[in-house]
Structure 1
């Protein structure tokens, strides 16, 4: 049987009009290709080497595993193409094997993608605690600086992260700094922790990667005692000491942040900035909250303040309907019965009930965001509670 088509030798772009003759059987036969103009054979392809290759709709294109890579026989006529398929059953078997191979590749690709997605959703967060130990503190500080910029922008409508009292020598800031240094005594924190009171009306407080912690004016307005303020501060400093902010950033940013770390922080900072705003409304894990609570309890023992102040403040904010905002303290630091019981685990006799700050210091802190100047003047002649 002769089939008429066009032949390309794979070496030149010249098409040749040819006739193709099917000789023998599939196992030992050949497809002989004869140039019609020159009347001589130009190709001799074993049938078992024939492969169908993609072409236009209705046509059949053949290649051979024994011929140059670009060699083709094209049957453009639909009827001729159909006859060739009938007379060359090897083509159907090759197509079936190729289709099966495609499905296997698609299946493996889907499984690989699913593995990546599962690793991104579950694996990275679960390993975040181990991964954070591989990130140098100076790099975490740079991540934190980027996150602060993005968070300030995201919170612009409620006041951003503008510091209420930028004077480091003010009575309030000196008292906060002294408390922070005392809380860090005996820890191996790799950062000099900075705690800032910021003029934002949301009742919240949180810690970020790199040793940064913020206490919002909205929460300060609801804080009724120095013990409550100290409890929240100690809790947030605990998150900094345990690098919970960086763990949360890794869990949220996932592989993008790690790629940036591996590539020398080429993209990592931009990823950190992108997810920074999302961290505002992302609560730490229960284990991280328990660790921070335990840290606050230890600080309470050493610095002589009542640790239940943190629970009292959380409970008060939870009862205030006006505080039911998406970024409010309870959304990021949920108060459970377990947490309250743990915070109340130290009896009043186990710690002294001396306030964490002197009355003068506490009044200065409360006035930090009022613009009255009460939090901005340090009277060095006044007695300040010592370390």
Structure 2
């Protein structure tokens, strides 16, 4: 007794009522598809080429890899479906193989996803220090400019406290920066910007840019505190910690940027301008920056532990300010505080101070001036 079904030849929209027969020939035989009306043969599909496609419940849809792409045989009813499965055992073995293949693909995809997540969370941050060496300096400078632009937009713009690069305060700060970088071997030209902000903070960006906010400068009571923070931030520049942090934050996106040669900085820096302020450098990076500040203090007469004093003062004043300030982005642990005090005690005698009394007075008051154009932004 034939099995009844419907046949679509995949070429026209007509649907044929058919009788299905199994013809034993060769190794696996063939499925004969005959018209239900006059019993003439419409198609003959090799059983080895048959496969099941998704269908409704109590329905079996068969396709043939050697037939037209849209060709289908549809068998309905639990009894007919059971009969054709019993007639064509090759379908069962194919379905088992397909199920096994799908399971293997799912396992492989899961393992691949887990590998990507592990690389993103652990591998890339661990390799970030080595990857930094692969980044061309001009690219890093452009990345830093991109981040600075986004950061400026997120904070409502940067207004320099003193836009005159030849002022006493700016010349003193620039001289300090040059002296601090003198023995670092850094390829970057340092740009130190003191800008107006109610947030007590300071940070270094990739490519040599350092920003010192006026609210933090107002908290600095002594030149040692200002010099300690500034030297610490310059240390981040010298060690390229900003670029390292961007690679760690961007993860696999940074690697894709390297592979594709993205020299615009968009894929790596987009969206990171606002988050880099909130992200802390690693403990190793903070220790390196502290050690750099101490090395600078070996050549100038200031105590690098003034950094710890300023951090403590900022943290005591205001819980909200502390959450957004230097204490958040540069956490001061007891070990780090003790290390800074020890590094400060190792300074030799007879050193020149980083700033004269007149220079420090000019720096301390550079953000108090009101004669500057309120629309002036960073131009250095």
- TM-score of the superposed pair, with normalisation by structure 2: 0.88
Of the candidates 200, 205, 218, which is equivalent to residue 202 of structure 2? 205
Does the aligned pair in 2 maintain the 1:257–1:267 contact within 8 Å?
no
Q: How do 1:305-324 residues align onto structure 2 when only pairs under 5 Å count?
A: 305-322=302-319, 324=321
Q: Partner of 2:101: helix, strand, or coil?
A: helix
Aligned pair 1:191/2:184, yes or no? no
Does the aligned pair in 2 maintain the 1:260–1:267 contact within 8 Å?
no
Equivalent residue, structure 1, for 2:377: none
Cα RMSD after superposing both structures: 2.6
Of the candidates 337, 348, 351, which is equivalent to residue 350 of structure 1? 348
Does the aligned pair in 2 maintain the 1:3–1:80 contact within 8 Å?
yes
Change (3 A) 1:224 1:249: same
Aligned pair 1:80/2:80, yes or no? yes
Aligned pair 1:5/2:5, yes or no? yes
CA distance in 2, matches of 1:131, 1:349: 34
Aligned pair 1:332/2:336, yes or no? no
Equivalent residue, structure 1, for 2:160: 163
CA distance in 2, matches of 1:184, 1:150: 26
Does the aligned pair in 1 maintain the 2:308–2:332 contact within 8 Å?
yes
Does the aligned pair in 1 maintain the 2:11–2:70 contact within 8 Å?
yes
Does the aligned pair in 2 maintain the 1:140–1:246 contact within 8 Å?
yes
Equivalent residue, structure 1, for 2:132: 132
Q: How do 1:221-260 residues align onto structure 2 when only pairs under 5 Å count?
A: 221-260=218-257
Deviation at 1:203, TM superposition (A): 1.3
Equivalent residue, structure 1, for 2:375: none
Q: Which stretch has the larger CA shift, 220-229 or 24-33?
A: 24-33
Does the aligned pair in 1 maintain the 2:139–2:265 contact within 8 Å?
no
Equivalent residue, structure 2, for 1:115: 115
Q: Which stretch has the larger CA shift, 110-119 or 360-369?
A: 110-119
Change (3 A) 1:268 1:76: farther
Deviation at 1:164, TM superposition (A): 0.7
Q: Which stretch has the larger CA shift, 348-357 or 99-108?
A: 348-357
CA distance in 1, matches of 2:330, 2:28: 77
Does the aligned pair in 1 maintain the 2:247–2:268 contact within 8 Å?
no
Q: How do 1:137-156 residues align onto structure 2 when only pairs under 5 Å count?
A: 137-156=137-156
Aligned pair 1:52/2:80, yes or no? no
Moved over 6 A (4+): none
Equivalent residue, structure 1, for 2:33: 33
Equivalent residue, structure 1, for 2:376: none
- TM-score of the superposed pair, with normalisation by structure 1: 0.87
CA distance in 1, matches of 2:365, 2:41: 100
